[in-house]
Amino acid sequence: MTIADNFKAIQEQIADGAKDSARDPSSIQLVAVSKMQPAERVRAALDHGHRLFGENRVQDAQERWTPFKKDYADITLHLIGPLQTNKVKEAVALFDVIETIDREKLAIALADEMKKQGRALPCFIQVNTGDEEQKAGVSVGELSALLDRCRMLGLNVTGLMCIPPVDQPPAFHFALLQKLAQRYGLKYLSMGMSGDFKKAIPLGATHVRIGTALFGDR
Ligand SMILES: *Cc1c(COP(=O)(O)O)cnc(C)c1O
């Protein structure tokens, strides 16, 4: 299987899942997670025509995507990993969507930097649906306050993102995130990875973040 074959196979599975759930396949975006992958695999994805990618570290993403972004004007990059406030400047300059807002301090820094750079990026809030100590994300109980704060700061919050605990059935977490997005009037749901994206589609995923199933092991 080539990388192009992998993309076709996953796109087909997304389309099938959409059909089974009476959803429009074009309402589900494939965020190809290119973190830690060799450059030639990313090149193959670009040659295949894919333009939407996710990276979890600012510096790695900068090194990889600054040259590619010069060659391809239509690349869209999502930040899907935790963001430190000292990397906000680079992140706002490079990324097109920030999926991982999870605290007020970061929201303030992002709002400030977006104003400075004149870049009003769409943002998602990451929710720690499993209340895991080691995991990033705002707790379910604090989501409402953080969302209010983001909106007051003028951030364009359009969605929610989660990473379910590895040792639990993911559907519960996807359903919870869907419920929260409905409650707060948010349009986008970033949920589902290589191992569980098929379960996220019936529960409303609009962005599935897939790495190894497209590019192979990291
Ligand atoms: C690495 C990563 C993914 C992709 O995981 P795969 O299992 O390789 O598909 C998705 N989301 C986040 C936040 C990641 O860090």
Residue 217: how many CB atoms within 10 A of its CB? 7
- pLDDT (0 to 100) of residue 100: 98
Nearest to 63 by CA among 36, 92, 25, 103: 36
Q: Determine the distance separating the centroid of ligand 1 and the alpha carbon of 93, expressed in angstroms.
A: 22
Q: Are strands 188-190 and 76-79 parallel, antiparallel or unpaired?
A: unpaired
pLDDT score at 4: 98
**C-beta of 194 in contact with ligand 1 (< 6 A):** yes
CA pair distance 109, 67, nearest whole angstrom: 26
pLDDT of residue 1: 87
Indicate yes or no: pTM above 0.75: yes
pLDDT of residue 208: 99
Q: What are phi and psi of 29, to 5 degrees?
A: -100, 135
Taking the centre of ligand 1 as the mean of its atom positions, its distance from the CA of residue 5, in whole angstroms, is 20
Neighbouring-strand partners of residue 76? 52
pLDDT computed for residue 167 by the predictor: 95
pLDDT at 108: 98
Block means of pLDDT (10 residues each) for the chain, 218 residues, are 97 98 98 97 98 98 96 97 98 98 98 98 98 96 98 98 97 98 98 98 98 97
Nearest-atom index, ligand 1, CA of 100? 13
- pLDDT in the model for residue 216: 96
Distance in Å, CA 32 to ligand 1 centroid: 9
The number of angstroms, rounded, from the C-alpha of 154 to the middle of its chain's C-alpha atoms is 21
Q: CA-CA distance, 198 to 13, in Å (whole number)?
A: 8
Cα(44) to centroid of ligand 1, in Å? 19
Closest atom of ligand 1 to 213 CA is 9
Give the Cα separation of 177 and 99 in Å (integer): 14
Whole-number pLDDT of residue 200: 98
Which residue has 């919050």 as its token pair?
Answer: 157
